[in-house]
Amino acid sequence: MSSDEYGHSSATGRLVTVLAWTLLLFGLWLWGRGVTGVPQSPAGPATGDVAGIGRAEAVRLPPAAQPLAAAVPQRLDIPQLAVTAPVVARGLDARGAIEPPPFDQPGVVGWYGSGTKPGAAGAALLVGHVDTETRPAVFYKLSTLRAGDTVRVVRADGRVARFTVDDVRVLPRDDFDARTAYGPRKPGRAELRLITCGGTFDRASHSYTANVIVSAYLTGTGP
């Protein structure tokens, strides 16, 4: 292959990657606007300051650990919320949004299976319902997490990737910036995004008014 051919191939590959990422971000934006159709529970989800409710300014956070080799996630543990949930791979629906777990599985977390694996370099995306028609779901209290809290992901290789929360935001869906919300924060770091609905339930549009997005980064392995 000549240098010209190599350059053309590389440029084409980069273009495909950019287009794929752009489509995913658009799909996540749609997901954030309510395409999951999460209904309102009697109590409604936890809410918080839309500017950021769990930032790290007052908390001394540990240094980032080196990313791990890729491995499929099997379980998500959030000790502060008493959450222990199986993780299942999910794809994109017809609109390009991540398919959440079925409503009859409110305790299950969905992982975007074509994206980054938790613990590997990049931002791995995990989605879950905030509630169902009758009861809270797995991410009902997600917005109550704070910087410094721990999130663990049990992986198929037998390792437990330990993440530290560095940011919790409740972002309004109007003028929503998917790249800022879901994209990697620091190059080369292994990061995690936990995503659910938040704010208040808009009965007219049958969707919530905001998204809860927890950002965490890999700080170690083990218990």
Q: pLDDT > 70: what percent of the chain?
A: 70
CATH code of the domain containing 69:
2.40.260.10
pTM: 0.76
pLDDT tens digits for range 17-69? 444 444 455 555 444 444 333 333 333 444 444 444 545 457 899 999 999 99
Q: What residue type is 96 in one-letter code? A: G
Parent domain of 201: 3-221
What is the secondary structure of 131-152 as a DSSP string? B-SSSB-TTTTGGG--TT-EEE
What is the secondary structure of 12-73 as a DSSP string? HHHHHHHHHHHHHHHHHHHIIIIIT-PPPPSS------TT-SS-STTS-PPPPPPPPPP--E
pLDDT tens digits for range 75-117? 999 999 999 999 999 998 776 677 888 888 999 999 999 999 9
Q: Are 197 and 130 in contact (CB under 8 A)?
A: yes
DSSP code of residue 117? P
| CA distance linking residue 128 with residue 5, whole number of Å | 44
What mean pLDDT value characterizes the chain? Answer: 78
How many domains does the chain contain in total? 1
Give whole-number Cα distances, 111 to 36, 44, 57, 67, in Å.
15, 24, 29, 18
